[in-house]
Structure 1
Amino acid sequence: MFDENKAKRVIQFINQLKHTKGVWHGVPFDLLPWQEQIISDIFGTVKKDGYRKYNTAYVEIPKKNGKSEIAAAIALYLTCGDGEWGAEVYGCAADKQLDVAVEMVEQCPALKKRIKPVMSRKRLVYLPTASFYQVLSAEAYTKHGLNVHGVIFDELHAQPNRQLYDVMTKGSGDARKQPLFFLITTAGNDRNSICYEVHKKAEDILKGKKNDSTFYPVIYGIDEGDDWSDENSWYKANPSLGHTIDIDKVRASFISAKENPAEENLFRQLRLNQWVKQSVRWMPADVWNKCNFEVNAESLIGRECYAGLDLSSSIDITAFVLIFPPRTEEERYIVLPYFWIPEENMHLRVRRDHVPYNVWEKQGFIKTTEGNVIHYGFIEKFIEDLGDKYNIKEIAFDRWNATQMAQNLEDLGFTVVPFGQGFKFMAPPTKRLMELTLEKKIAHGGNPVLAWMMDNIHVRTDPAGNIKPDKERSTEKIDGAVAMIMALDRAIRNEGSGGSVYDGRGILVL
């Protein structure tokens, strides 16, 4: 059954609130048609006893369509307007959701005089009914025993595992007549996640493959056969496009995505709400090959440069890459890579991996070290000799694999810098390398080993849209590419006055 009065009550409550961000700050929250439809369906559809029919709502929609605002508005209604005494409403792992709710309260005099913020507990207390809205962290083991009236999961796809979801939704609302679990998210990239599990259930219900009368599914996005470059598809996926989303910004994102497979994945995921792979082949070979500008190693003698060292394992390829920063706006970043492989297992690897290490060794692009494991002492002496030719300012190394060699290089007088392999460290220079390659501001001399490794790179994307090389999913070796990215980071961080472009701009967060 549909109770129009119940639906109107929620709509009227939300329309009294105001937006909190950017140019929309202070503007009344007049629900858009798609938002009003969802609110009406969830709160107006009731059972014979008058209580809500739906206790779980799953809304999947691209970014910038106002997810956090609608989630905060629903949280405030469940806390203050749902007629539930002692209502416990929880926002899961989403501090920004509380910030939005607090700002909404600040802009609404009727709520402000009835709500007491307890910020030490990340809680808003509604005094007339002793109800509260509180944001929880991801430590699921502390959440047992809650008497839940409402749960808001904003960006369910960002949940690291299913623990918090299970604790908050399995039995926690049994003592309430009409608990609501409101799940709102953008599509993710992990098909082994709780979010994808719920997504598939929602999809199956929408297609008529499954039936659950308590579950309300909404998915905005493009279908598999849709043309992702067609603006009509963008409007199909984004019901707020033209309202809270500027079409020119979407066009700009699309232009960038056309040139970069990693950004295409992000565009499809975040702008068009498609579930994409966590890892995607990153650097198109033709793009990399266009930077095959001549590199004369002898002309670089005495120049300042920065190095990246990737040891991998003792039986595998070791890579050491020098990056020479441009001295003028007309110059390019120059790449000088070196590779080593154990001599005794090289021919076995050629037969097994079908990679022409022996040809590259004859051509001088790979060096061998005596024995069946990498001779680190030989490499250290080689780097020491390079230090006599080039002014190596810093050597960046993977802190987990090269500790002893780093110490030895430091004893030789080099400045060595530990370099984390997570998104925090790898994302900015990885993104910058693609930009420089597209701008033809890199000169790599056509080194075939490095070109092979660049073609092997798959990148992993985190929930915020940051990328980094993914060694696990890259089908072949990428050690030289990783070493180059580390070297590029140190070169960029030390350009000019010594400040970093990342220090001011920071890591990309969407």
Structure 2
Amino acid sequence: MSDAKNLDIVLEYARSIVEGKKVAGQEIIQACQRFLDDLENPEYEFRTKDPEFVIQIIERTFVHDKGEALDGTPLRGKPFLLEPWQKFIIYNLLGFWKAGTNERRYKEAFIFIPRKNGKTRFVAALAWALALLSRKSGATIYITAHALKQSKQAFEFILFNLKRMGEEDNFRILNNNQEHSISGDLGDGSIYIEALAANPDRQDSLNCNIAIADELHAYTRPKQYNIIKEAMKAYTNKLMIGITTAGDDMTSFCYQRLQYCKKVLDGTARDETYFVFISKADEDEKGNVDYTNPVQHEKANPNYGVTIRPEDILNDALQAQNDPQQRKDFLAKSLNVYTSAMNAYFDIHEFRLSDRKYNWTLEELAKLPINWYGGADLAKLHDLTAAALYGEYQDVGIIISHAWFPVVAATAKAEEDGIPLFGWMDDGWLTMTNSAVTNIAEVVEWFKRMKRMGFRIKQIGFDRKFSHDFFRGAKKAGFKLIDEPQYFWRKSQGFRRIEQKAKLGKLYYLHSDAFEYCVQNVHGIEKTDGLIQYEKIDENRRIDIFDASVFACVRYLEDTDQAKAQSEWLKGGDSA
């Protein structure tokens, strides 16, 4: 390790964060602890040659193309020197090998950092250096983004440095409306770098060993990422790097990937091939951020004091405090905290905080001395179908939900609309019906199964449109069915009840990710007299599980109100 000029910098970075000498958010602390632990792990060998090669290639051959230092000094033409956090990432990606093999440990990476931390130029320099490192394998590297304009920024930075070095004549460069690529034969190997838009419809024939997917938060479909990842199956030492800033869609592929990576860091999900670097402000249990606190600004931004001017970000924070319409953008772009979509009605953090207070199992709920009310939202042909039970115990509203989707259409819909259907199936929240259209008999069977478990189901509310099969099956099974037409003035009472319970911390939905997904897609329109009309925020989203829960809650409210009214009437009659 005597030639490892940057190893001490990386070790100091990790240790100073773990020991609390350097300010960092919770996830960066976990990443640094993971690194230090892995240095002692006999499953891996730690080799410094490749990370040193990449760092030195970047710092010796690349310069800035624009920008200013904090004191206003122009940076154009100045050496592109990496910060300790960037060297830490490179050392992790390239330093660990499976013991006794020539196979690198990490095959995939998730790098999550706010805007203006030098992300795009770091991506470009890393792509160039990785191409040179893997040239003997015939390096093929794709830089992708949702929009070609974004991936071209990295490509143009590489091109700028090639021209400055006077090397452009040694490579074949295509930079036109059809293609943006750099290729060349280096004697002992070759390289090919191309900038692409993440368009899965035109990328089925791709083949690469390294890919960098930029701005993951803008990806509208998982396939935009997965099609690139699939392109590197022929390589042992492949590397798929996703790098992004937070967004405002908490049902997106990027957000789901963020949640998975958090589980990797805290040890609840084991994935030894996935490197994770999440730089963001810390949130409290309600999802709130002390966004005017400079400590949180530094936690979120690894380039704080380098490319991030402390006084500028503090000024932006104060503007966000005084102008609420600026707040979501500041949280997402400057502090890297995901926010709900602008037109989403609910704050999902309120639901999660309430749900985490309770931990009844399905078996325990079945034994509670309460009545349950059902709701069903049935698809016309081949879409999401949902059912739910609603009951209250000790003033806690309890929602038990399940969903169905025809397996024939599942893959296409999961890709097109970004619905995590297969994840829900794995977690038990959804059943794939083995048919081209939804099998309504399975919905009826779910209610029957819940009844056999011990749930006393008094009524089931449903919209009779597209529900003839359900009506016949449920009626035959002995359930009392109540027609629930889609009138907003009827559904408002169930909506408000669920909203109230969540805000009071008295709502439990068995930690269902599927229910949370639907809650985040609800857009509400306030009407007169406290009524509300709700719909999904976008045509490609789903709210069916929430809708079924509202139907069930309406049945609870109306039946218990009628029971109370009848009881009061009888008492009055007795006294007479």
Alignment of 1:39-438 (within 5 A): 39-47=90-98, 48-93=100-145, 94-109=151-166, 111-120=167-176, 121-128=179-186, 129-170=189-230, 172-225=231-284, 226-279=289-342
Give the corresponding residue for 1:5: 49
The runs of 5 or more residues in structure 2 that have no matched partner are 1-44, 69-74, 146-150, 346-486, 494-520, 529-576
Bigger helix share: 2
1:21 is aligned with what amino acid?
K
Q: How far, CA to CA, are the matches of 2:183 and 2:133 in structure 1? A: 13
TM superposition shift of 1:350: 9.2
TM superposition shift of 1:12: 0.4
| TM-score normalised per structure 2 | 0.48
Assess, with a 3 A threshold, how the Cα gap between structure 1 residues 474 and 174 changes in structure 2: closer, same or farther.
Answer: same
Q: Percent identity?
A: 27
SS of residue paired to 1:279: coil
Are 2:110 and 2:241, in contact at CA under 8 Å, matched by a contact in 1?
A: yes
Q: How far, CA to CA, are the matches of 1:127 and 1:477 in structure 2? A: 67
1:124 is aligned with what amino acid?
I
Assess, with a 3 A threshold, how the Cα gap between structure 1 residues 114 and 353 changes in structure 2: closer, same or farther.
Answer: same
The runs of 5 or more residues in structure 1 that have no matched partner are 283-347, 355-470, 479-510
TM superposition shift of 1:477: 6.5
Q: How far, CA to CA, are the matches of 2:307 and 2:248 in structure 1? A: 25
SS of residue paired to 2:135: coil
Are 1:79 and 1:126, in contact at CA under 8 Å, matched by a contact in 2?
A: no
TM superposition shift of 1:25: 2.2
SS of residue paired to 1:70: helix
Q: Note the alpha carbon deviations across 1:262-290, whole angstroms, 9 max, x for none.
A: 311111111111111112699xxxxxxxx
TM superposition shift of 1:51: 3.0
1:270 is aligned with what amino acid?
K
Assess, with a 3 A threshold, how the Cα gap between structure 1 residues 474 and 27 changes in structure 2: closer, same or farther.
Answer: farther
2:298 is aligned with what amino acid?
Y
Assess, with a 3 A threshold, how the Cα gap between structure 1 residues 353 and 118 changes in structure 2: closer, same or farther.
Answer: same
TM superposition shift of 1:352: 9.1
SS of residue paired to 2:523: coil
Q: How far, CA to CA, are the matches of 1:179 and 1:276 in structure 2? A: 33
Q: How far, CA to CA, are the matches of 2:219 and 2:175 in structure 1? A: 23
Q: How far, CA to CA, are the matches of 1:89 and 1:8 in structure 2? A: 20
Give the corresponding residue for 2:534: none
Moved more, 201-210 or 273-282: 273-282
2:261 is aligned with what amino acid?
A
Q: How far, CA to CA, are the matches of 1:265 and 1:280 in structure 2? A: 12
Q: How far, CA to CA, are the matches of 1:89 and 1:216 in structure 2? A: 19
Are 1:20 and 1:100, in contact at CA under 8 Å, matched by a contact in 2?
A: yes
2:255 is aligned with what amino acid?
Y
Assess, with a 3 A threshold, how the Cα gap between structure 1 residues 49 and 19 changes in structure 2: closer, same or farther.
Answer: same
SS of residue paired to 2:173: strand
Asked if 1:38 is matched to 2:89, the reply is: yes
SS of residue paired to 1:169: helix
Assess, with a 3 A threshold, how the Cα gap between structure 1 residues 39 and 475 changes in structure 2: closer, same or farther.
Answer: same
1:216 is aligned with what amino acid?
F
Q: How far, CA to CA, are the matches of 1:349 and 1:212 in structure 2? A: 46
Assess, with a 3 A threshold, how the Cα gap between structure 1 residues 139 and 352 changes in structure 2: closer, same or farther.
Answer: closer
TM superposition shift of 1:248: 2.2
Are 1:58 and 1:182, in contact at CA under 8 Å, matched by a contact in 2?
A: yes
Give the corresponding residue for 2:58: 14
Are 1:156 and 1:183, in contact at CA under 8 Å, matched by a contact in 2?
A: yes
Q: Note the alpha carbon deviations across 1:463-498, whole angstroms, 9 max, x for none.
A: xxxxxxxx97243269xxxxxxxxxxxxxxxxxxxx
Give the corresponding residue for 2:523: 473
**Corresponding residue pairs, total:** 296
4+ runs deviating over 6 angstroms: 348-354
Q: Note the alpha carbon deviations across 1:311-336, whole angstroms, 9 max, x for none.
A: xxxxxxxxxxxxxxxxxxxxxxxxxx
TM superposition shift of 1:67: 0.6
SS of residue paired to 2:183: strand
Are 1:262 and 1:280, in contact at CA under 8 Å, matched by a contact in 2?
A: no
| TM-score normalised per structure 1 | 0.54
Give the corresponding residue for 1:468: none
Assess, with a 3 A threshold, how the Cα gap between structure 1 residues 257 and 176 changes in structure 2: closer, same or farther.
Answer: same
Q: How far, CA to CA, are the matches of 1:349 and 1:202 in structure 2? A: 39
Are 2:344 and 2:522, in contact at CA under 8 Å, matched by a contact in 1?
A: no
Q: Note the alpha carbon deviations across 1:58-109, whole angstroms, 9 max, x for none.
A: 1001110111011111111222232333221111132222222222322334
After superposition, the CA RMSD in angstroms is 2.6
